[in-house]
Structure 1
Amino acid sequence: MTRIKIEDIINIKSVASPTAIPNSNSVAYYVTKIREQDNDYETHLYMNDGESNHQLTYGNERISSVKFSKDGKYVFFLALADKKQQVFRMRMSGGEREQITHEKDSITGFEVSNDSSRLYYNVSLEVNKIHAEKDEENEEQKDAIVEEKVESKGQQKDKKKDLPEPVVIDRMKYKFDSVGVLKEKYAEVKAIDLDTLDVESYLSADMINYNVKAAGHSFVIFTSDENDNPDFNFSASLFIKEGDNLKEIPTSEGYISNVKISPNENYIVFAEMSREFENATHPKLFVYDLKNDKKIGITDDLDRPVGGMVATDMHQSAEMEGVVWIDDTTFLFVVADYGNVNLYRGTVDGHCEAILEDTHEIYGLSANKDYAFLAISTPTKPGEIYRLDFKTNVLETLTTFNEEFVENRTLVEPESIVFNSKDGTEVHGWIMKPAEFETGKKYPLITNIHGGPHALYGNTFFHEMQVLAASGYGVLYVNPRGSHSYSQAFVDAVRGDYGGGDYEDIMAGVDHAVSNHDWVDEDNLGVTGGSYGGFMTNWIVGHTDRFKAAVTQRSISNWTSFRGVSDIGYYFTDWQIKAEFSDIEKMWHHSPIKYVNQMKTPLLILHSERDFRCPMEQAEQLFIALKYEGVKTRFVRFPEADHNLSRTGKPNLRIKRLEYLTEWFDNLLSQ
């Protein structure tokens, strides 16, 4: 047995996204691994037929959005063709894949009709490109003399392709992390006949962001976020289109996801995240009776969020199908509860119950009438595909891709802890002993803070935590107020109080660890975190000298500038800090950089150059301020990386990030 290493991200495979194959007890799923020689990832489709596992796709590529025809004969998926995502299909009986869409722009999603006759897909088109296409149509109607001139113009256009072009911006939503600066687009829904491959426009593009969500035999369900003020539109409406008839399904103002049609097409189920508490609102599940026009709440009394939202760093290509029907009146869904993600069963009359609860994270779900197919991870297992038998309630392991890795590594099982914060609020978290722990010996402790803040640490495998434990550190990680998987009041409590109760929750966790674990060396404490966790790391070192070393990652240091430079800043600051544009005093009060003259703890700053969520200038400001004050600091910039560096960044940079992180603590915390 050897301790886990930073480089083990290359050895761990992400097994995710189970999809039940119709008319069988087989399941398809993804396996993603790192191609070290190319410094990249590849995702392939596998199948388990109940007895063994088979690889279905090959090559240096990543596929996504796998769906099956209702008879199980064809599998459809997205893959790159000429650098654009297109839909491909492949016979399950064998044979070569076939590209069935040939759009100029990437396809962003698709659904197969229940009778397997049509496929509906979304394609986002640039506004200026549409104008150009219309111009081309007009040019084609001209006579041969004009065509010659058009050809000449076309040649001139080709010469200009390599020249830089300015980007004209008219909206506040003009950039997005991991994408960059956005060109104005609208989404069109098209339908393709799966026999003839003829394509037609199903929902014509007219500056409305259509997204097809589900398809029955004769109708399609889609969302649209049409609004007179798109910069402040954070909602989508749900519609049914059958022929020329259009009907809106009543929903609260907010987001709609996980829309699924019952097999008999009498009901739809969907998750709704209202704006009651803005982005802190619990997603809830509803059933809509199509025949009786009746909306039924499923999780109204649960006081837990539908879905996962667990912070981790090893789930690649994890497409969570949050709700699945198993018969005409029964469906399955997942709920985050006290650090776990568990499996629930619901019925169209409004009943729901937990059917699989454990110390685990369910991060993938599909099912048929006999089995649920689940992707499950635990703190000491990266994740595999499992099958739950509804009759016996037996959970069977179907894949063992990470078995050898687990068997040959010393992995630390976290201990769940519960304690009270300064104001009496109950807080939940975990503490890990160092790998190869020796009784009677003192160890430094590192507190690791999650992002969000409306995410959660959970009972799942977290490579970074295991690396810190393998490096000889105890690790403390808690879910302060603002974290999901607890009550609505708890998740909402952080808004308008950043650095208040949440800070007290984390410090109470440190007090609990020191008081209840005699192996913790209270003179050798470290702290780190990313995004909101980076904000909190900055805040902590500006409000206490208790920590000997700190590492802030993709952090926020200044809310006054954040609101104008982040892709979400102009509304996130309103929602979370509860400070409008003119309320400079409140934004400055909650800004860690305000307290830079109180910062004495050596601080390493890790930040991605393409981070549009917490832009680079947040790190730059903090670094200069610390250097100006004479504080020990270092600034590491990661090129070609965005806000998701630790999760989906280039493999070599993910490794470098952890090397800088552990080296900083190794040099400043004595062991």
Structure 2
Amino acid sequence: MKSLTEHLFEIKSLTNPFVIDGQIFITVSQADSENNSYRHDLARVIDNQLETVVTDITDVQVTNEHIFYLKANQIYQYFEHSEDKQLTRQSEIITQILPLPDDEHILYVAQITASQPGLNVDQKRPQIHQVSQLTYKADGKGFIFSQPQFELRSVDVTSNDRLLKQFEQEIQIADARSEQKILLMLVDYDKDGLGQKKQLVDFDYRTDLTRIISDKTMVMVDEAIYNPEGSAILFTAKDAAFPNRRVSQLFLYQMLDHETFLQFSAEELSETPLSDTVFKAQNRYVQWLDNTTYAFETGYHGHNRLYLADISGARELVRDEAEALYDFKFLDDFALAVRSTSMHPSQLINLTSGKVILDPNQRYEEHQKYVFRSKNGDIVDGWFLPNQQHKKAPVIVYVHGGPHSAYGEAFFWEFQMLSRAGYNLVYVNPHGSTTYGQSFIESVIGHYGEQDFEDILTGLDVAIAQHSDLIDEQAQYIIGGSYGGFMTGWAITHTNRFKAAIAQRSVMDWQSLVGTSDIGYYYVASEMDAAPYTARGRKVLAEKSPITYAEQVVTPLLLMHGEYDMRTPIEQSEAFFAAVKLTTSTDVVMARLPQAWHDVSRHGLPSLRLDRMDLIVEWLTRYGTLRV
């Protein structure tokens, strides 16, 4: 299996392309085998090849003339023909940098953090921690027994470092034109149990005035950007009426009149198909071209679209391909974009000419999209990835997490490895998935395991019928993670069609998730339309929990769970493991992944990702005819 999994270290993921002095630069990210981590380098593109100029960076930001980057928790200025200059000597954690258009000043955020207890770490004199609010832990971070403070600071190219303002809550810099025009996103964890909120404000350092841009109807601002003259702001936000499951919409705020206008809501903003090789997040989904026109990206039916528009509301669809876009940049004479397809992990393309500028990875197997009609009459998208031997072989139906996320026209390393191991893959976007609009998302609320479950089985049946020459219908498997893990548990407690199943970081008991998950106190009520504090709520949650039906499991089951997971804590798998063991004679195994958070399959330690793939193939092999 090592010959398969080692492909992970060969994949180069591209983000944040930009041009300085006629030269194209880009961030290159990849898994690092030696350090068992992920490395991000700044590189120059020369003759369709990469030339690394700075290694091991955390972030890079540019103005029209200069490049600044964050490395080893310090800010540097890049010089092509001389040594780069270190601008900060910061002992606190720098979470973000943003240079101002004057080419002289760089804003940054420093997190003043009180020490927090580590996970599974013995201390000589441990302290007792008292909790008085619901938000006291966060997946990927750990326990939060004391709230950190944040500083908004400014450093110039002569290393003059100044504190602009200290905040008692988390802040993120959305954009800035000067120290008098700074767009901040203020993050608040509602103490009443309504989850995370993110408010957009316009901050003036000189006067210490803050103007609220987003109103009370908006619960979460995703991004915001000034036009060049600072007279208008484009921002994306979610409606407060649907805090957990609302599509992001595009808004325009006019600074002179202090008025907000809805610009676009027909498709979803800030939404890209799932991939497990995007090692660094996309910078922006919206970009001003001048003071009145702009470009923006949407998620649509499992792929991304690109629009040009102006503040009057006129717009034009300029790109609509079977691809996922992970960054774009419009320049004076041409435009750049980073894209992914099922065959290509990451490519830099010229949007103007349509040509590929850089493709640093090998080509992989191409999947095939198909559509089918669900039992309620809706059209649902599915994809089929054939085994790379192109012979009759078993089929895996793989269920995504969320459920408010989407598969689509993006590269998936895990799928390609399973294809190389000899398996056909089927994956669909059932009801509840994103990129299909608000009503499609809303359709599963209070109805998990109903239409969504039917979509998955129907999509699998259609793929088997269409590819009977490649699919052995006597060898069907189901795998899923998070919501997909719930659906795997639901499937094997409601059908016996699968030869084996693998449920990862699953939800098996909705009632216990309420009090144990870092988001359970609001997520369960929002998604299940029920809470465990009434007789009706307990009945609903029990009926929708796979653990209620554990005695019906006859499908061999591998449970995989990260021991650090705070989103769907490992007790979910522990309880289901015990339930199946105690009530059946079915083969069930639990694999505990050490030092692994919820997102282990996409951003976990590379060594664990490889070991995890080994376990998956070993389990499938144990209950199949293939020998790898």
Q: TM-score range by the shorter chain?
A: over 0.9
The answer for the alignment partner of 2:120 in structure 1 is: none
Question: Of residues 466, 477, 500 in structure 1, which corresponds to 2:416?
Answer: 466
Contact 2:268 2:299 in 1 (8 A): yes
| 5+ long unaligned stretches in structure 1 | 81-85, 130-160
Deviations 1:204-258, CA, capped at 9 Å, x for gaps: 23x3333322111331111224687364353232221233233221433311122
Q: 1:424-573 residue pairs with structure 2 within 5 A?
A: 424-438=377-391, 442-519=392-469, 520-573=471-524
Q: Is the deviation greater in 107-116 or in 643-652?
A: 107-116
SS of residue paired to 1:375? strand
More helix by share: 1
Question: Of residues 25, 48, 51 in structure 2, which corresponds to 1:28?
Answer: 25
The answer for the alignment partner of 2:566 in structure 1 is: 612
Check if 1:395 corresponds to 2:394. Answer: no
Q: 1:202-601 residue pairs with structure 2 within 5 A?
A: 202-205=164-167, 207-217=168-178, 218-225=180-187, 229=191, 231-232=193-194, 234-242=196-204, 243-244=206-207, 245-251=209-215, 252-300=217-265, 302=266, 304-389=267-352, 394-402=353-361, 405-406=362-363, 411-438=364-391, 442-519=392-469, 520-582=471-533, 583-601=537-555
- Alpha-carbon distance in structure 1 between the residues aligned to 2:164 and 2:219: 25
Contact 1:560 1:587 in 2 (8 A): yes
- Alpha-carbon distance in structure 2 between the residues aligned to 1:341 and 1:107: 32
Contact 2:238 2:249 in 1 (8 A): yes
The answer for the alignment partner of 1:602 in structure 2 is: 556
Contact 1:446 1:476 in 2 (8 A): yes
- Alpha-carbon distance in structure 2 between the residues aligned to 1:182 and 1:98: 35
Instruction: Give the drift of 1:71.
Output: 3.7
Instruction: Give the drift of 1:517.
Output: 2.6
Q: 1:628-667 residue pairs with structure 2 within 5 A?
A: 628=582, 629-667=584-622
Q: Is the deviation greater in 412-421 or in 499-508?
A: 412-421
Structure 1's 371 and 187: CA in aligned 2 closer, same or farther, altered over 3 A?
farther
- Alpha-carbon distance in structure 1 between the residues aligned to 2:81 and 2:442: 51
- Alpha-carbon distance in structure 1 between the residues aligned to 2:270 and 2:157: 36
| 5+ long unaligned stretches in structure 2 | 117-122
SS of residue paired to 2:414? helix
The one-letter amino acid of 1:499's match is: G
- Alpha-carbon distance in structure 2 between the residues aligned to 1:605 and 1:665: 13
- Alpha-carbon distance in structure 1 between the residues aligned to 2:431 and 2:330: 34
Instruction: Give the drift of 1:51.
Output: 7.0
The one-letter amino acid of 1:613's match is: R
Instruction: Give the drift of 1:127.
Output: 6.3
SS of residue paired to 2:297? strand
Instruction: Give the drift of 1:3.
Output: 13
Contact 2:511 2:531 in 1 (8 A): no
Instruction: Give the drift of 1:338.
Output: 1.1
The answer for the alignment partner of 1:148 in structure 2 is: none
Instruction: Give the drift of 1:31.
Output: 1.4
Structure 1's 112 and 494: CA in aligned 2 closer, same or farther, altered over 3 A?
same
Q: 1:104-119 residue pairs with structure 2 within 5 A?
A: 104-119=91-106
CA RMSD of aligned residues (A): 2.4
Deviations 1:183-221, CA, capped at 9 Å, x for gaps: 42244343324044333332323x333332211133111
SS of residue paired to 1:235? strand
Runs of 4+ in structure 1 over 6 Å off = none
Contact 2:182 2:203 in 1 (8 A): yes
Instruction: Give the drift of 1:661.
Output: 0.7
Contact 2:78 2:85 in 1 (8 A): no
Instruction: Give the drift of 1:335.
Output: 0.7
Structure 1's 52 and 606: CA in aligned 2 closer, same or farther, altered over 3 A?
closer
Check if 1:79 corresponds to 2:71. Answer: yes
Count of aligned pairs: 612
Could you tell me the TM-score, scaled by structure 1's length? Answer: 0.86
Contact 2:492 2:553 in 1 (8 A): yes
Deviations 1:422-468, CA, capped at 9 Å, x for gaps: 22222111112221214xxx422110010111110011111111122
Contact 1:18 1:385 in 2 (8 A): no
Contact 2:68 2:75 in 1 (8 A): yes
Structure 1's 452 and 94: CA in aligned 2 closer, same or farther, altered over 3 A?
farther
Contact 1:20 1:28 in 2 (8 A): yes
- Higher relative contact order structure (alpha carbons within 8 Å, sequence separation ≥ 6): 1
Instruction: Give the drift of 1:173.
Output: 1.0
SS of residue paired to 1:571? helix
Contact 1:430 1:478 in 2 (8 A): yes
Contact 2:36 2:605 in 1 (8 A): yes
Structure number with larger C-alpha Rg? 1
SS of residue paired to 2:31? strand
Q: Is the deviation greater in 309-318 or in 634-643?
A: 309-318
Contact 1:365 1:374 in 2 (8 A): yes
Could you tell me the TM-score, scaled by structure 2's length? Answer: 0.92
- Alpha-carbon distance in structure 1 between the residues aligned to 2:162 and 2:293: 34
- Alpha-carbon distance in structure 1 between the residues aligned to 2:326 and 2:410: 9
Check if 1:67 corresponds to 2:64. Answer: no
The one-letter amino acid of 1:76's match is: F
